[in-house]
Homo-oligomer: A and B are copies of this chain.
């Protein structure tokens, strides 16, 4: 029997952004063909599908949750089981592109192990769009997820990322829980050298998008922008 296909289905990052502003029309055919979804959060996945205007009734669809509490192993294998029997599935994360900086990667890994085809669809990635708009990303860049919260690990990690950004010319992107953004940026400005550059990319793709790159010295003078509780990517570069 033919195996199913695993589609990685991006959704808008911001609720204020209509789907067709950030998702290609071509994604719809894939989404419309599916009735099985592996999702980070069922409520937000249902809301996305309903706003997206999918053709099948949402109540007839199967949703399975794959979040940060999901363990690799039996639980993930059960999610893949229908694909082994020919049913295709879509992975939807809470915002943006699934399987990058979210737990969706577990089911992708399992699919490769079983020889199941994995098809990524195009959509908004705040990480990639921040790198594009930063002007820092020439030939290379890295995304590092969250920086440790506790000291001295936090300052040490920031120092290590700055060294790498400078020595390897590899801009280093990081994120923080949005309610800690202001404090976090203060720490970056305190820890990094005045000539090191910092891109702050806030609410990417939303109508309030704010993206600016300046040196740490310039940021110290300009002060912290309005990033409190707003999803932000910080990129440290040379």
Contacts and interface: CB of A to CB of B under 8 A. Distances in A.
A4 interface: no
Contact of A112 (B132, B170, B214): B214
A139 interface: yes
A213 B125 contact: no
Contact of A109 (B25, B110, B213): B213
A101 B136 CA distance: 10
A163 to B, nearest CB: 14
Contacts of A21: 24-26
- Give the interface size bracket for A toward B: 35 or more
Interface in A114-160: 117-120, 122-125, 127-146
Contact of A119 (B99, B125, B130, B133): B133
Contact of A135 (B25, B99, B211): B99
14 contacts: A8-B132, A20-B26, A97-B132, A105-B135, A109-B213, A118-B135, A119-B211, A120-B132, A120-B133, A127-B128, A139-B145, A140-B144, A140-B145, A142-B142
